[in-house]
Amino acid sequence: MKHIVVLTGAGISAESGLKTFRDSDGLWEGYNIADVATPEAWDWNPVLVQEFYNMRRKAVLEAKPNDAHYALAKLEEKYKVTIITQNIDDLHERAGSTDVIHLHGIITRSQSSKNPNLTYPIDGWELKMGELCELGSQLRAHVVWFGEAVPMIEEAARICTTAELFILVGSSLAVYPAAGLINYIGRSVPKYIIDPKIPYLPSDNFIKIEEKATVGIPLLINELLKD
């Protein structure tokens, strides 16, 4: 089976009602990024940070996969598909995709404050202060913050080198190291980008579909399933 690698960003989840990570004013859900998405923020005000991610988790659980998520899952009928996502929601999995790599963590899990490799499922939307990991440290959202390493980036880069077809959807390519993954795709590999506002690309050999994800992805997937 031909191996298709898909890199998804906030744009695909926005159509399910989840706000993009950072709006044009630099804020996320009205909060300064430095106040809710850094290790320092957790040190300064863990209650605020915990409440912030509880609200994001509640929104994720209330959201539903959209046509783009379902179309990507359908692609597995004919191809080996690996989805690399910058998103912290579980909408790809709920739509039926079976091979998903979360570069920035997944909000439906918690992690130890001492050892980020210790992660646990969360029952419901609320992670409370006082809930501890097996090492006795406070549990926090399993989300990669600014200033933290991206543990899955090397594996994602390796997978990109194996792609026989590449699809980029809903990403502005503004967040590194995730944006650098397109450099690992072979030069001769067919490449598609789907976005209503095509970002700057370091190479011009992308086939551009200037549509939102829920329009462009089903169109492309229908063509790929015909071939």
Structure tokens at 115: 């050892």
What is the Cα–Cα distance from 76 to 45, expressed in whole angstroms? 43
Q: Report H helices in the chain.
A: 10-14, 33-36, 39-44, 46-62, 67-74, 91-95, 153-161, 213-226
Angle, helices 67-74 vs 213-226, to 10°: value is 20
Instruction: Given the residues 69, 92, 102, 104, select the one marked as catalytic.
Output: 104
Q: CA angle at residue 185 from 188 to 117, to 5 degrees?
A: 160
Burial class (CB in 10 A: 0-12, 13-18, 19+), 158: exposed
Q: List 22's β-bridge partners, or say none.
A: none
What is the Cα–Cα distance from 220 to 182, expressed in whole angstroms? 19
For this structure, is 104 an active site residue?
yes
Of 30, 18, 26, 7, residue with least CA distance to 104: 7
Q: Which residues of 192-215 are buried (b: 16+ CB within 10 A; e: fewer)?
A: bbbbeeeeeeeeeebeebebbbbb
Which residues are part of the catalytic machinery?
A: 104
